[in-house]
């Protein structure tokens, strides 16, 4: 449930900016049918920064309801205040989520000791399994392998979503955290390379619209069939790249609407829909990947 192709699920909204239950159910069914390994509900791709805490919890619970035990659900619980992270995490105790994904605090840029104390406090507030998430390009703060190694000693911190794109991190984290610590990619473009170095999968943006392909990519990598996996990955590479031609999740929501997976590509301000100039760029990537 913390390995393979895990989708960083978008949160579909209607034209008024309200969460769209119909589209959310359609997305969950799509991932069950496509054999996605698990869903991250209301992570950063799910626009956690612009949902209220009540909406955040409601979307996770709706996702659990629609999943109905058919696919594991991981709750996004990241926050830039430790007390807020603890509060969000406690909302999901005994709900059915299999664990939490918690991003490095953004904007306030804590020290490595601050990061350690932040994640330690959250983990010790719950029995839910915790997966760390390091994405310095978005948070402005890089959690170093030494800090990950310290945190890995805490029983319910079981892995990390590593999104630096720095492949040397895999060996560093493995050495410091141990072989049982799960490393998954948070960067679609380098995910296969990370898996070839010992990573266990990817928490993927691309999987929102190419779910079956990403599931197959991870299966091939697990089997050690990297030649076939690389051929598939090359076909998907335009998506891995162009789904970030504007800030995530702007392009992937547009693509999901274009493919009929959601009814609207609406986002909440300050995020705005894909620009007219970028539409043909994403459309071409969809065509190259064989989705259009």
CA distance linking residue 86 with residue 94, whole number of Å: 15
| pLDDT computed for residue 1 by the predictor | 81
158 annotated to bind ligand: no
Choose among 274, 277, 232: nearest CA to 255.
274
Are the beta carbons of 13 and 262 closer than 8 angstroms? Answer: no
2-57 pLDDT per residue, tens: 999 999 999 999 999 999 999 999 999 999 999 999 999 999 999 999 999 999 99
Using 50, 70 and 90 to split pLDDT, how confident is the model at 66? very high
Residues 6+ apart with CB under 8 A from 251: 242, 243, 244, 245, 274, 278, 282
pLDDT in tens, 143-179: 999 999 999 999 999 999 999 999 999 999 999 999 9
Cβ-Cβ contacts under 8 Å for 195 (sequence gap 6 or more): 185, 201, 202, 218, 221, 222
Convert the pLDDT of each residue in 215-270 to its tens digit.
Answer: 999 999 999 999 999 999 999 999 999 999 999 999 999 999 999 999 999 999 99
Cα angle 194, 131, 173 (rounded to 5 degrees) comes to: 45
Give strand ranges (E) for the chain. 4-8, 38-41, 73-76, 99-103, 130-134, 157-162, 182-185, 201-204
pLDDT at 38: 98
By three-state DSSP, how is residue 130 classified? Answer: strand
Secondary structure class of 99 (helix, strand, coil): strand
pLDDT of residue 252: 98
Which residues are identified as catalytic?
133, 161
Tell me what pLDDT residue 158 has: 98
Give the DSSP letter of residue 126: -
Q: What is the pLDDT of residue 148?
A: 98
For 118-149, what is each residue's pLDDT tens digit? 999 999 999 999 999 999 999 999 999 999 99
Note the pLDDT tens digit of each residue in 70-111. 999 999 999 999 999 999 999 999 999 999 999 999 999 999
**Is 154 labelled a binding residue?**
no
Q: What is the DSSP string of 173-191?
A: HHHHH-TTSEEEES-GGGH
Given a cut of 90, whether residue 291 has pLDDT beyond it is yes
Query: What residue ranges define each of the domains in the chain, with the CATH number in brackets?
Result: 4-223 (3.20.20.70)
């Amino acid at each position: 449930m913390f390995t393979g192709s895990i989708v960083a699920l978008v949160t579909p909204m209607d034209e008024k900016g309200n969460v769209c239950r119909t589209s959310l159910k359609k997305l969950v069914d799509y991932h069950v049918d496509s054999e996605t390994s698990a869903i991250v509900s209301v992570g950063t791709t799910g626009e956690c920064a612009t949902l209220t805490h009540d909406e955040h919890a409601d979307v996770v619970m709706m996702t659990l309801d629609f999943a109905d035990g058919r696919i594991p659900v991981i709750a996004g619980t990241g926050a830039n205040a430790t007390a807020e992270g603890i509060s969000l995490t406690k909302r999901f105790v005994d709900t059915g989520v299999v664990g939490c994904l918690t991003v490095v605090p953004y904007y306030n840029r804590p020290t490595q000791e601050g990061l350690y104390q932040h994640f330690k406090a959250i983990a010790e507030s719950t029995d839910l399994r915790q997966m760390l998430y390091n994405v310095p390009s978005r948070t402005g703060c890089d959690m170093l392998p030494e800090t990950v190694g310290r945190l890995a000693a805490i029983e319910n911190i079981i892995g990390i979503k590593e999104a630096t794109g720095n492949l040397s991190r895999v060996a560093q984290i493995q050495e410091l955290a141990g072989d049982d610590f799960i490393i998954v990619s948070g960067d679609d473009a380098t995910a296969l390379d990370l898996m070839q170095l010992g990573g266990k999968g990817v928490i993927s943006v691309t999987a929102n619209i190419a779910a079956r392909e990403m599931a197959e990519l991870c299966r091939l990598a697990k089997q050690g069939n990297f030649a076939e996996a690389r051929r598939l990955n090359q076909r998907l590479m335009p998506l891995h790249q162009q789904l970030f031609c504007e800030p995530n999740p702007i392009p992937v929501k547009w693509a999901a609407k274009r493919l009929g997976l959601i009814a609207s590509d609406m986002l909440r301000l300050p995020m705005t829909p894909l620009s007219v100039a970028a539409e043909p760029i994403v459309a071409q990537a969809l065509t190259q990947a064989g989705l259009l």
